[in-house]
Structure 1
Amino acid sequence: MISFIVRLRSRAHFIVGSKVGARNATFMGASARRKKEARQRLGILIASFLAVYFIVGARLVQYGLAEPAATGAISSNTIASRPDIVDRNGALLATDLNMISLYADPRRIVDADEVVEKLAFVIPNLDWSETHKRLRSRTAFQWLKRQLTPKQQADILALGIPGIGFRPEKRRFYPGGATASHIVGHVNVDNQGLAGMERHLDQQGLGDLRLAGLTGGVPLEPVRLSIDLRVQNIVRQVVANAMTAYKAEAAGAVVLDVNTGEVLAMASVPDYDPNEPSRMLPDGSVDKDYEKGWFNRISNATFEMGSTFKSFTLAMGLDEGKITLNSVVDASRPIRMGGFTIKDFRGKNRPLTISEVFQYSSNIGTAAVADKVGIEGHRQFLTKLGLLSRMETEMPGVATPTQPKTWKKINSVTISFGHGVATTPLQTAVAAAALINGGSLVPPTFLPRSREETKLVSRPVIKQGTSIDMRYLFTWNGVKGSGRGAQVEGFQVGGKTGTADKVINGRYAKDINFNAFVAAFPMDKPKYIVLSIIDAPLTGEHGGRTAASTAAPMIKEIIGRSAPLLGVQPRFGSPDAPHLLENY
């Protein structure tokens, strides 16, 4: 009996219940228990699957309705905007274009080799090894190609490659190409300013706004520059043609408002296209010769400006009261000093008036004027004109002038006619403007500046009477002297040539020149300074290689074409003569 009960308990549970005082025992077989447990497990399994499907479905709906999220690895300044840049008349110089760039999530790339092969059919010059390396990096984000064309985007979409996507970006576009490249500058692929006024904008706070994410998709007020695009185009054409025609290494020019210091135009060649700041060669390397065009010789380089410095030497003598226009200096024989001989090019070998010293560009006469002032007075005067210190302006990368560590008499003598001090052509033009605008030194600017604003930044550097005398000398040389090659009928051009032996490896090359011409017009009431330079010309007008045959003709063409655009009316005959034209 006991063994029967043990076997029975091994096969079933013994349940005792009571109801209304009665005790009922119910036996549940093992098969019934397993059925119940199976139903419970099946219910749990079905509930779990339904929960998973519900969660997945909900997330898919959420993703479908949500805007595409930016990949976390992309910095917030990728699609940051930049303001348009326009000239003084509102002509567009630089603007943003909406572009698309290609990226990949390498973790989702199944076959990197296949992806590279497919993309190579759409993207020309794709770097196979670099792209493959990026796709195998197992990182969260990698750029594959920046700034695609719409057709390339459509072709890549048609390939249906998983793990790649597109990101909206901004690309900077310069409608004028190389026309004003050294003024406007350029940006990198992330739309960050690298040169010119583009870099200046970032230095003024635009870069900080980008980092804070405050420029993305926000319309920004255009930045207006002081340049006139019409005049800029003329200046750039003239210097480019001159470099080719005269077989020179480089050339440049600048047009400056003498009263406000505004730069109306500035060009330096060789130059470059800011839409393509770096050009690739067929072998995939960067064209280093093309990148040399980034160098702006007007503000970023220093040169010995030759006889243009005689303008400052004579102005110094007049301002210090050491000479007058009626003074006579002895230029009859060369000067021996410190083992050097100072002589004139095609000298007159006789005493010269101050007007003749300027007209014939006498080194001997100019040295005599500098000697009257003295070494320290000479240095202080050039410092006062801003020719010995770094120029302050918005343009980044302005070069610092060079001068002797210790000024001796021989230094003062050579500097008097433009040797021994190297300065930028732009600050030479600024100092020349002070000589003829009434005596005020006005810092140059590439932004619009009113007369009221000019008064706050300008300072007097010479007497008004000295300025009147210098206008006379400029006019005299424009009519009688080396400035005749720059004369434009009706616009009263005056100025001074400068032909200097070029310094190569610390030595003067006797057969290679650096030529310059600084001019002003109209001389009865000067409004503009124009300065031209040409580096190492092999020929010039009528076969000459001096400034009169190279730099002066450049000035003539620039003024002749741009003066009417600047509102300067031509006047013929003497200012006091009656008008000869009649209205019919």
Structure 2
Amino acid sequence: MIRTPLRPLARILRAREKGENPDEIEAENRAQRHAEIQEKARSSARSRLFFMAMGFMLAFGTVGTKMAVLASSQPSEPQVQTSGAQIISQRADITDRQGRVLATNLLTHSLYAHPRQMVDPAGAAQKLAKIFPDLDIARLEKDFSGKRSFVWIKKKLSPEQMQAVHDIGEPGLLFGPREMRLYPNGTIASHILGGSTFGKEDVASAEVIGVAGVEKAFDHWLRDPANDGAPLVLSLDLTVQAAMEEVLSNGMKVMNAKGATGILLEVKTGEIVAMASLPDFDPNDRPKPLLKGDPSDSPLFNRAVQGQYELGSTFKIFPVAQALDLKLVSPATMINSKTPMKIGKYLINDFHNYGGQLSVTDIIVKSSNVGTVRIAQLLGPERQKDFLQKLGFFDPTTIEMSEAPTGKPLVPTRWPAVTAATVSFGHGLAASPLHLAAAYATIANGGKRVRPTLVHGRSARPSEQVLSPEAAKTAMALMRQVVTRGTARSSEVAGYEVAGKTGTADKPRPTGGYYKNKVVATFASAFPSSDPQYVLVLTLDEPSVTRAGGVESRTAGATAAPVAGELIRRVAPLLGLRPLTESQLPMVERPLPDGLKLVSN
């Protein structure tokens, strides 16, 4: 900025020449300079006032808008805002259908160390190793005496362990609060629940995430704050589940089996009341998975859902029920049962020689392979495949478990005559016991498709009619005779009208062919047969029992059926089923091979 001088020399000289006073020039310039300074100050003041006014208007506008929003919204509690990623540690409970807790959260503490704050690192390591024998003293001493500033020691502690650590008196040992997942019933329903572990974590909290079973399948739902802490209600009944596991465990020991599984479901709803797989595990201390060998040797393996077994003669009711539905046969129809039967280069035999002919009823009662194949030939491969697909044997079950997709049945890619024959009596197609339970429930449900579920009270989608009600009822009557006078007599429970079918299938070798002394024994049943309420499927892996006279038997009638009978005897009263008296039992029409009919109770 160029300033005008107060006494410009040129003007002063001219003023003196004219006799004027030079001081007036200075006074004039000084007044002009003051006027310019005042104008500049006024302009600056106006700018500051304008911006201040705009600032106040913006502030008051923001406050007014916020007040209007608050006035028009519902009141809510303020929430503390924290920096960094939020760890959601809360997880909803899991209960059975009666509200009994199967999985819940427990407030506990973690243990960590700040080595730089420790007074006696070596002494602390030795004392910690006495409290936690699984800790490595040498590793602890190295971590405590090194350059590390933070060391995780235990991610969850019991109150007793916490007190013992506190008594050490080491200032560098610190506790952090957190929630852990607790399964108060131990091993009961372990395969269904699956288990959990920690995800994101810090010293003050940890995220609990599901790793298997329903814990993983419903992980997002269980951690969703929008559910307001509502529990996940399963269809299980804890009392029935415990009874099933006890009977299965004892049955495994008596029958010398390496594994067992049982499934009990409601016919009308498809809800699973109990489902067990043995051997099992404690989800509070979930074991590590096997890295080699047979997966079924691991206690983590869920035989009910993941097992892919050839289920033997339990499949024979399917072609018979379909043939009844198509009016190709009736219970009294006589079928050629001459053995052996030749298909191409293959021979099909029966366990016993039943003569030249058997009625359709006796084909099921006596479990004739040849007779079943003859009926399957009446159907043809395409109709047979279509019916099995409608029953759900070509796809994984829709059960709400993370393991469900791994239980997809092993279905033949080709379906020639010999495959159609072997599948009709349960060989050549491998499926899980849960698939079998759903298929039997469909028959017991008057032919309407049943899809198993583990969620209590869930609205079932409309079911398609896979089988006519008449054919389904007749199939139930045939299976009732399997129990009263056939291969499953050892499963009979007085007053409960058990109907079912046994199945004994040789186990396939990994290298091809079948073992001669290893079988999978299955008994699939429904009760009461006159008004089916429940379906029970029980499978034993490699059973063997010595019968009277020292004869070893592996058949389902001698192994799986009696265990199933004991299980029905135990759980039927728990399910609220009253045994029928002799006078209440329905009259049964029993076709005989010669076409005569004997009516009996």
User: Normalised by the size of structure 1, how large is the TM-score?
Assistant: 0.79
The equivalent residue for 1:499 is 504
C-alpha distance 576-271 of structure 1, shift in aligned 2 (>3 A) = closer
The equivalent residue for 2:452 is 444
Instruction: State the Cα distance separating 1:252 from its structure 2 match.
Output: 1.3
1:479-494 to structure 2, matched below 5 A, reads: 479-494=484-499
Aligned: 1:383 with 2:392: no
C-alpha distance 239-85 of structure 1, shift in aligned 2 (>3 A) = same
Instruction: State the Cα distance separating 1:321 from its structure 2 match.
Output: 2.7
Q: Give yes or no for contact 2:499–2:527 (8 Å, CA) kept in 1.
A: yes
Deviates more, 1:293-302 or 1:88-97: 88-97
Q: Deviations over 1:363-400 (max 9, x none)?
A: 00100111111111111111111012111110221211
Q: Give yes or no for contact 2:338–2:357 (8 Å, CA) kept in 1.
A: yes
Gaps of 5+ in 2: 1-79, 200-207, 588-601
Instruction: State the Cα distance separating 1:402 from its structure 2 match.
Output: 0.3
Sequence identity (%): 36
Secondary structure in 2 matching 1:242: helix
Secondary structure in 2 matching 1:433: helix
Secondary structure in 1 matching 2:476: helix
C-alpha distance 492-576 of structure 1, shift in aligned 2 (>3 A) = closer
C-alpha distance 130-323 of structure 1, shift in aligned 2 (>3 A) = farther
1:422-433 to structure 2, matched below 5 A, reads: 422-433=430-441
Partner residue of 1:572 out of 581, 585, 597: 581
C-alpha distance 133-407 of structure 1, shift in aligned 2 (>3 A) = farther
Q: Give yes or no for contact 2:222–2:232 (8 Å, CA) kept in 1.
A: no
Partner residue of 1:293 out of 290, 295, 299: 299
Cα RMSD between the aligned structures? 2.8
Secondary structure in 1 matching 2:470: helix
Instruction: Give, as a single letter, the amino acid of the residue that structure 2 aligns with 1:415.
Output: V
Q: Deviations over 1:420-465 (max 9, x none)?
A: 0000001101001111211111210011136xx23x2422211111
Q: Deviations over 1:472-525 (max 9, x none)?
A: 111121212112111100111110000111112232112221100001100110
C-alpha distance 294-576 of structure 1, shift in aligned 2 (>3 A) = closer
Instruction: State the Cα distance separating 1:195 from its structure 2 match.
Output: 1.5
Aligned: 1:392 with 2:398: yes
C-alpha distance 137-328 of structure 1, shift in aligned 2 (>3 A) = farther
Partner residue of 2:359 out of 353, 359, 372: 353
Q: Give yes or no for contact 1:231–1:265 (8 Å, CA) kept in 2.
A: yes
Aligned: 1:535 with 2:541: yes
Deviates more, 1:511-520 or 1:160-169: 160-169
Q: Give yes or no for contact 1:104–1:144 (8 Å, CA) kept in 2.
A: yes
> Which stretches of structure 1, 4 residues or more, deviate above 6 A after TM superposition?
69-73, 288-291
Q: Give yes or no for contact 1:347–1:362 (8 Å, CA) kept in 2.
A: no
Aligned: 1:199 with 2:216: yes
Aligned: 1:186 with 2:195: yes
Instruction: Give, as a single letter, the amino acid of the residue that structure 2 aligns with 1:98.
Output: L
Secondary structure in 1 matching 2:195: coil
Secondary structure in 2 matching 1:103: strand
Distance 1:114 1:76 in 2: 37
1:99-498 to structure 2, matched below 5 A, reads: 99-106=108-115, 108-109=117-118, 112-132=121-141, 134-135=143-144, 138=147, 141-189=150-198, 191-202=208-219, 204-206=220-222, 209=224, 220-278=229-287, 292-398=298-404, 399-449=407-457, 453-454=459-460, 456-498=461-503
Distance 1:577 1:466 in 2: 18
Distance 1:289 1:102 in 2: 35
Distance 1:383 1:273 in 2: 36
Distance 1:131 1:576 in 2: 72
Instruction: State the Cα distance separating 1:237 from its structure 2 match.
Output: 0.7
Distance 1:290 1:343 in 2: 30
Q: Give yes or no for contact 2:544–2:559 (8 Å, CA) kept in 1.
A: no
Deviates more, 1:249-258 or 1:314-323: 314-323
Instruction: State the Cα distance separating 1:567 from its structure 2 match.
Output: 1.4
Instruction: Give, as a single letter, the amino acid of the residue that structure 1 aligns with 2:388.
Output: L
C-alpha distance 87-494 of structure 1, shift in aligned 2 (>3 A) = same
Deviates more, 1:319-328 or 1:114-123: 114-123
Instruction: Give, as a single letter, the amino acid of the residue that structure 2 aligns with 1:315.
Output: A
Secondary structure in 2 matching 1:415: helix
Distance 1:238 1:274 in 2: 21
